Amino acid sequence: MKLNIIYNGDCIEILSGAIEENSIDLIFADPPYNLSGNALKWIGNKTGGDWNMVNENWDKIPDVEYLRFTENWIKGCYKVLKKSGSIYVASSYHNLAEIIMALKQLKFKINNIITWYKTNAMPNMTKRVFTHSTEFVVWAVKGPGWTFNYEIAKEINPEKQKDGKIKQMRDLWEMPLVQGKERVRSIDGKALHPTQKPEEMLKRIILTCSNEGDTILDPFMGSGTTAIVAQRFGRKWIGIEKEKKYVEIAEKRLGIKR
């Protein structure tokens, strides 16, 4: 099986063909949340620059199809994951229900639903609901024997006890949406991927739920965040991404020359 490469194609097809069964130690999946559909913008917002809601064609799936799509790609992940493997699935309130339903149908055991508190969340423009400032990462396992590096989780936890000692990591992760130098941009400063995940999130997942030399799969690779962090910490990786332009962006970020 090829490692450290990005497959350009549909993850449901590639999971059922190119990836060996029971071969993957850890999966991080950041699927389309299915929240695009309006093009809300707030240009000239004084507190943090322009805001643009995610509005991508790959993120617009009719609701009835979305559950089927979720079931199919999670089924593909189940097949390639080792018995002791873990899957992390990123979501928002838009698609959390479908993800949990699909995981439960396959008898995955849900270990945690981590809440990501986005410290620089987009302001509430409609003023008709509480300001959304959270996303979720569902951690599920196929069976017993999963990897959880408890001591490492304590060591890398930025929160400390009152006396400065290391502390157990909780299921509430506070971190900003990616900005500054970490954001992958074009030379004119535009963000090259609308939903780039923080490297800190992947660092926590990879260091706690895998070991050096393990293989990590990301079926929705986007700008390549999972691969960048996996590589940094001595893990092997496989990415899948449908859009060629994002494959090229991720390969450039990873220093891969074709």
Ligand X SMILES: C[S@@+](CC[C@H](N)C(=O)[O-])C[C@H]1O[C@@H](n2cnc3c(N)ncnc32)[C@H](O)[C@@H]1O
Q: Of 42, 51, 58, 233, which lies in the binding site for ligand X, with binding defined by CB under 6 A? A: 58
Question: Which of the ranges 74-82, 107-115, 127-135, 235-243 carries the binding residues for ligand X, by CB under 6 A?
Answer: 235-243
Q: Of 5, 10, 154, 203, which lies in the binding site for ligand X, with binding defined by CB under 6 A? A: 10
Nearer to ligand X among residue 85 and residue 222 (C-beta): 222
Query: Contact between 7 and ligand X (CB under 6 A)?
Result: no
Question: Which of the ranges 79-87, 94-102, 161-169, 239-247 carries the binding residues for ligand X, by CB under 6 A?
Answer: 239-247
Instruction: Please say whether the beta carbons of 107 and 54 come within 8 A.
Output: no
Nearer to ligand X among residue 144 and residue 255 (C-beta): 255
Q: Of 116, 136, 139, 220, which lies in the binding site for ligand X, with binding defined by CB under 6 A? A: 220
Window 172 to 211, contacts with ligand X (CB under 6 A): 193, 195-197
Q: Of 243, 252, 253, 256, which lies in the binding site for ligand X, with binding defined by CB under 6 A? A: 243
Residues binding ligand X (CB under 6 A) = 10-11, 30, 32, 58, 193, 195-197, 220, 222-223, 225, 240-243, 246
